[in-house]
Amino acid sequence: MQDGITRRQALAAGGLAALGLMRVAEAEAAGIAPKRGGLLQSVITPEPPILILGVNQQAPTLEVGSKIYQGLLEFSETLEPKPLLAKSWEISADKTRYTFHLQPGVLWHDGEKFTADDVIFSIMQFNMTLAPRARAVFASIKSATAPDPMTVVLTLAQPFEPFLLMFDVTATPMMPKHIYDGTDYRTNPHNQTPIGTGPFQLDHWQRGSFIRLKRFEKYWKPGQPYLDGIVYRVIPDSQSRALALQTGQIALTSGNDIEPFDIPRFRAMPTLAIETKGWEMFSPLAWLELNNRVKPLDDVRVRQAISHAIDRKFIAERLWFGTAKPATSPIASTTRYHDPAAHLQDYDPKKAMALLDEAGLKPGAGGVRFTLRHLELPYGEVWTRLSEYIRAALGKIGIALTMESTDPGGWASRMSNWNYDTTINYLYQFGDPTLGVERSYVSSNIKKVVFTNTEGYSNPEVDALFAKARVAPDTASRRKDFYAVQKLLIEQVPVVWLIELTFPTIHKKTLHDVITLGTGVQGCFDDVFLA
């Protein structure tokens, strides 16, 4: 299957990228031909600390930086690989050797040529040094060679099925070797003036106010990008962002820019389009995290009771206004190897109370069985409302929550030090359970580091299933292991999975081709145009 895809891509990629041609044809067929010119006014929340991908991988950095930098590949909404800086590729029969053929005529923003040496440096040095996720995968590369300046060959110690997913810009951005080799990547003075191969380059950054990108005139796709530039305005207040969108001062919002409770009024505006696609690669899954070390949360019956007490449909419809959907498994429905038959505990407060009774946790004074400290997630008003709902829902079955608030840095510090009883968390899944799900549940990843197995869940059978799936050479074997691990996790409830998030992207209808990939607004935007 991969070899067939590669041949088609190689045939289509001469001179112009195949995907660009397809989108132009689709637009023309719809009577809306891509048009060159115009400045896109957008917003970024919060302001990124830096624009160098790899040095920082937070969502705001990725959103802006993905217009400056590129990966070898990009991915469709169904997570099929598409050519970007790699025009084609082949995979050996034993699935251990990957040969990438690079696009001709690609220049860095400073005019230097992009070559195989940049690719090998980006994979084996820059990202291996800075990115824990990349390091864990690329450590299995036995050799990385360049038979010629336009070809890269990567040989793995053993097959790794999700390997190609690592070559999107959000996972492994291509970085200029001539700028970073032999330097401290985090303190390199060029970090203030990013140099990529993307369709846009940094024009001006006025801290606290805006980031302005301009068209890279020597971009490798002829005639693109269509936009003259992009301005990302820094607007800290959510209501001010909503007002700017309503009045037309900005043409694009995404992620947490607009609170979910504001979505209905924007749906009613005929000049705006609201899209929830573009999160397929990340598939963010939100859950109520339970510190399994804390009594009585170490009792599986208590964790099951909490899961039965939560109405996921209410959360998706009444708090997220339809921009989220109820979770059904630890693996999101848009991620590979999601089991469509998986089913979390039903909303059933009576069953929840029966389980607590069985665990010996009888109601005391005022009907309270026990009290937990709940650390609120400080990412906006909707998350506060979610915590308030959970407090009310658990209160109905006799569990009292004491609410504790902090800022984002304090939240991360307390999570890292396991200083909480319950909290809200959400993580990206990166298209494959080995890349984005395993890290939250294997005992080897119980660390005092945020976004690891901070809940302290440990099950040797779960560890073994994730380990088998990681190295299994075929899809059928991996599916069997991942289905089994979902069943175990659902029974054990290390965390209470709540909703699959699909943050809305809202844009003027005059802005076209905004969401065309499984990475949404973190695509490079070379096809986006104003009509």
| Share above pLDDT 70 across residues of the chain, in percent, rounded to a whole number | 94
Give Cα 435 to chain centroid, integer Å: 11
258 vs 265: CA distance, rounded Å: 11
In 238-369, where do the E strands start and end?
252-253, 272-275, 285-290, 324-326
What the block records as the tokens of 179 is 């700028």
Q: Which domains are assigned to the chain?
A: 2-193+505-530 (3.90.76.10), 285-501 (3.10.105.10)
- The parts of the chain modelled with pLDDT lower than 70 are 1-31
Strands (E), 223-358: 229-234, 252-253, 272-275, 285-290, 324-326
Q: What is the pLDDT of residue 13?
A: 39
Place of tokens 């220049």: 107
Q: Where are the beta strands (DSSP E) in 112-258?
A: 141-148, 151-156, 200-206, 210-215, 229-234, 252-253
List, in order, residues 6 or more apart from 50 with CB less than 8 Å away: 56, 61, 191
What does each C-alpha distance from 465 to 137, 371, 433, 514 come to in angstroms?
18, 35, 11, 39
- Nearest-angstrom CA–CA distance, 54 and 131: 6
Closest CA to 86 of 172, 194, 178, 214: 172
Q: Where on the phi/psi map is residue 365: left (φ > 0), alpha (ψ -120 to 50), or beta?
A: beta
**Measured distance CA(434)–CA(161) in Å, rounded:** 10
**How many other C-beta atoms lie within 10 A of the C-beta of residue 272?**
18
Please count the other Cβ atoms lying within 10 Å of the Cβ belonging to residue 50.
15
Q: Based on the number of CB atoms within 10 Å of its own CB, is 459 exposed (0-12), middle (13-18) or buried (19 or more)?
A: middle
Collapsing DSSP states into helix, strand and coil, what is residue 416? helix
Q: Which of 74, 40, 45 shows the shortest CA–CA distance to 58? A: 45
Q: What's the CA dihedral at 339, 345, 347, 351 to 10 degrees?
A: 160
Helix axes 475-492, 460-471, angle to 10 degrees: 160
**Which pLDDT does position 474 carry in this prediction?**
87
- C-alpha to C-alpha distance for 236 and 44, rounded to whole angstroms: 9
**What distance in Å separates the CA atoms of residue 16 and residue 437, rounded to the nearest whole number?**
36
CB burial readout 491-530, b (16+ within 10 A) else e: ebbbbbbbbbbbbbbbbbeebbbbbbbbbbbbbbbbbbbb
Could you tell me which residues come within 8 angstroms of residue 51 by beta carbon, excluding any fewer than 6 positions away?
Answer: 61, 64, 65, 68, 194, 202, 205, 211
Q: Which has the closest alpha carbon to 345: 282, 393, 291, 400?
A: 393
| φ, ψ of residue 9 in degrees (nearest 5) | -65, -40
Beta bridge partners of 495: 289
Task: For the beta carbon of residue 371, count every other beta carbon within 10 angstroms.
Answer: 11
Task: Give buried/exposed letters for 128-139 (b at 16+ CB in 10 A, else e).
Answer: bebbebbebbbe
pLDDT, residue 450, reads 86
Contact 364, 357 (CB under 8 A): no
Question: Rounded CA gap, 70 and 199, in Å?
Answer: 9
Residue 517 to residue 512: CA distance in whole angstroms: 13
Identify the pLDDT of residue 3.
38
427-470: pLDDT as tens digits: 999 999 999 999 999 999 999 988 899 999 999 999 999 999 99
